[in-house]
Amino acid sequence: MNCVTLEQIYLYLEKELPPEEMDRIHTHISSCQKCRAAVAERKVFMEAVKSLPPLQVPPDFTRQVMARVFTAKSSVRLWIAGLATGFSLVIAIFLATFLQSNFSLSGTFIHLNRSLWAFISNLSVFFVKTIKIISLVFDLLLRLSGYIYTTLASMTSAVGIEIQVILITLTILMSLTAYFGLRRKIWAGEKT
Q: How many residues does the chain have?
A: 192
The answer to whether 192 and 182 have CB atoms below 8 angstroms apart is yes
Run of H or E including 57: none
Give the angle 177-180-183 at the CA atoms, nearest 5°. Answer: 145
- Report pTM: 0.32
User: Residue 70: its pLDDT value, please?
Assistant: 66
How far apart, in Å, are the Cα atoms of 77 and each of 11, 15, 70, 85, 123? 58, 62, 19, 12, 32
The whole-number pLDDT of residue 129 equals 92
3-class DSSP state of 37: helix
* pLDDT tens per residue across all 192 residues of the chain: 578 888 888 888 888 889 999 999 889 889 989 988 988 998 888 888 888 888 788 888 888 887 777 666 667 788 888 899 999 998 888 777 777 777 677 777 788 788 889 999 999 999 999 999 999 999 999 998 888 888 777 777 777 778 878 888 998 999 888 888 877 777 766 554
What is the spatial distance between Cα 4 and Cα 39, in angstroms, rounded to a whole number?
10
| Residue 147: predicted pLDDT | 86
- At 191 the pLDDT is 53
Return the pLDDT at 192.
Answer: 47
